[in-house]
Structure 1
Amino acid sequence: MKIAVIGTGLIGSQVVDRLVAAGHDAAGHSRATGVDLLTGEGLDQAVRGAEVVVDVTNSPTFDEASIDFFRTSVTNLLAAAHAAGARHVVALSIVGVDQVPDVAYYRAKTVQEDLVKAGPIPYTIVRATQFMEFVPAVLDFTTDGDVVRLPSTPIQPISSAEVAAAVAEAATGAPLGGTRDVGGPEVFPLDELGRITLAATGDGRRVVTDETAGLFAAVKGDVLTGGRPATTRYRDWLQSR
């Protein structure tokens, strides 16, 4: 099966590796390979002959500009994939993304989902919980000196490898015409997750619980959790790193 993977970052590169290892004709495309989703440059060539198109791109910013990024990039990608005769489009999104309207980036991802759902190609949306690999960046974002301020928002960390596996599985299956949620096997309050991370890495910072701190303060309840559970536990993942 010929599969075009748009986006070659943390997830996209692993998706391509998995698909190639399974015997598929898969290739990754990004600005580094001459594909610009905002202008459409190189896009027609990237998806030419592809039966499946996988979108694992991300906005370069997390502010209001991300809404325009996804609106333009998804519109261009769907048009090119449809013209190329693609029979299935797979998009990676976030568990609970449509339930966090106070965060611009989450509104942007909801726009992405809505465009895919309304588009001309049968689709599957894979929603994942917070990547384990991004937890350190979450801590850095709310660090002031040796203090990390974090809310107690429930988080269900999942490894990027298991997200990539779910996306690759979706790409080789029939279109769902719906959404598949995947998440890690454990749920932690974010402040506790921060303490676990700092202790495991020997980081001297300390976590202070602050329900107003950072992006996750805008999340109500446990909307960012759920889905088919993966198997890698966070402490095991930390140890393996």
Structure 2
Amino acid sequence: MKIVVIGGTGLIGSKVVARLGEHGHEAVAAAPGTGVDTLTGEGLADVLKGASVVVDVSNSPSFEDEAVMEFFRTSTANLLEAEAEAGVRHHVALSVVGTARLQGSGYFRAKLAQEELIKASGMPWTIVHATQFFEFAKGLADGVTEGDTVRLPAGRIQPIVSDDVAAAVGRASVGSPVGGVVEVAGPEAFELEEFIRMGLAAKNDPRKIVTDPNATYWGAELQETTLLPGPGAQIAGTRFGDWLAQQK
């Protein structure tokens, strides 16, 4: 089965392509570097010829509010139109647990707009919602650092390693469209401060970490459970501490 992975050269996409290839599928990595640009539509018609499934794990190159909204609206619309013309039978997209609860953030408003386009398209679809990745602990800290202090909102997080996200996306891509959202998360929930503290400590990062009642999560206010999956989520097996130990 031919499966085209949009964003197939990135962190998740490259892992999805590799996993699908190992299972005998014709997995094609599509990205600007391979001549496929969903924002302009360049290369889409050619790469989608004969494809049964499209997996979209692409991300905006800019997180500025207007730019990220333009990216997800335009690229998703172009992709869905090209899929319909090519006879694609299943659209799989990767999004984020808590997207609808994080609408104070321009990024998550854009992700919700992407999801709404998919749902309204008439294309058989599956959306995979993943919690934040283990690999993003430092990046999350960088986004809320003032001087040498990381200021975090209160809340809990149930992070997951990128390998397990790729596995979940791969399973969705070879399965039947569910016309709904599949959630996937890691096996442990942490206070957000604890997660960031563990991630920075593993890198010998000396920044001070505090929970600040005025801090936001990419511009959105957090409740205790905003970032947590629901009770029906698929729970992956890799534990954060075990993964950190392997990085040394």
Provide the TM-score with structure 1 as the length reference. Answer: 0.96
Could you tell me the percent identity over the aligned residues? Answer: 53
CA contact under 8 A between 2:153 and 2:222: conserved in structure 1?
no
1:221 and 2:221 matched: no
- What is the distance in 2 between the residues matched to 1:183 and 1:228? 6
- What is the distance in 1 between the residues matched to 2:29 and 2:221? 34
Q: Which AA in structure 1 matches 2:144?
A: T
Kindly provide the CA deviation profile for residues 179-220 of structure 1, in whole angstroms up to 9, marking residues without a partner as x: 100011111111111222222322222212213234255222
CA contact under 8 A between 1:141 and 1:214: conserved in structure 2?
no
Kindly provide the CA deviation profile for residues 8-49 of structure 1, in whole angstroms up to 9, marking residues without a partner as x: 210000000000000001110000011111110111111111
Other structure's SS at 1:41 match: coil
Q: What is the number of residues matched between the two proteins?
A: 241
CA contact under 8 A between 2:137 and 2:200: conserved in structure 1?
no
- Unpaired stretches in structure 2, ≥5 consecutive residues: none
- Unpaired stretches in structure 1, ≥5 consecutive residues: none
Q: Which AA in structure 2 matches 1:237?
A: W
- What is the distance in 2 between the residues matched to 1:88 and 1:194? 36
Q: Which AA in structure 1 matches 2:178?
A: L
1:41 and 2:42 matched: yes
Instruction: Report the counterpart of residue 5 of structure 1 in structure 2.
Output: 5
CA contact under 8 A between 2:153 and 2:212: conserved in structure 1?
yes
Instruction: Report the counterpart of residue 145 of structure 2 in structure 1.
Output: 143
- What is the distance in 2 between the residues matched to 1:195 and 1:39? 41
- What is the distance in 2 between the residues matched to 1:40 and 1:211? 43
Other structure's SS at 2:202 match: helix
Q: Which AA in structure 1 matches 2:133?
A: F
- What is the distance in 2 between the residues matched to 1:215 and 1:34? 34
- What is the distance in 1 between the residues matched to 2:100 and 2:62? 19
Other structure's SS at 2:126 match: strand
How far off its partner does 1:223 sit?
2.2
Q: Which AA in structure 2 matches 1:236?
A: D
Other structure's SS at 1:50 match: coil
Q: Which AA in structure 1 matches 2:176?
A: A
Over the aligned positions, Cα root-mean-square deviation in angstroms equals 1.3
Structure 2 residue corresponding to 1:230, chosen from 223, 229, 236? 236
CA contact under 8 A between 2:152 and 2:217: conserved in structure 1?
no
After superposition, residues 1-150 of structure 1 pair within 5 angstroms as 1-7=1-7, 8-64=9-65, 65-150=67-152
Kindly provide the CA deviation profile for residues 58-108 of structure 1, in whole angstroms up to 9, marking residues without a partner as x: 111223221121110000000101110101010000111011111111111
How far off its partner does 1:238 sit?
0.9
Q: Which AA in structure 1 matches 2:4?
A: A
Kindly provide the CA deviation profile for residues 145-191 of structure 1, in whole angstroms up to 9, marking residues without a partner as x: 33222122211110000000000000000111111000111111111
Instruction: Report the counterpart of residue 203 of structure 2 in structure 1.
Output: 201
Other structure's SS at 1:39 match: coil
- What is the distance in 1 between the residues matched to 2:190 and 2:175? 32
How far off its partner does 1:131 sit?
0.8
How far off its partner does 1:224 sit?
1.5
- What is the distance in 2 between the residues matched to 1:203 and 1:93? 29
Kindly provide the CA deviation profile for residues 104-141 of structure 1, in whole angstroms up to 9, marking residues without a partner as x: 11111001111111112101100000011111111122
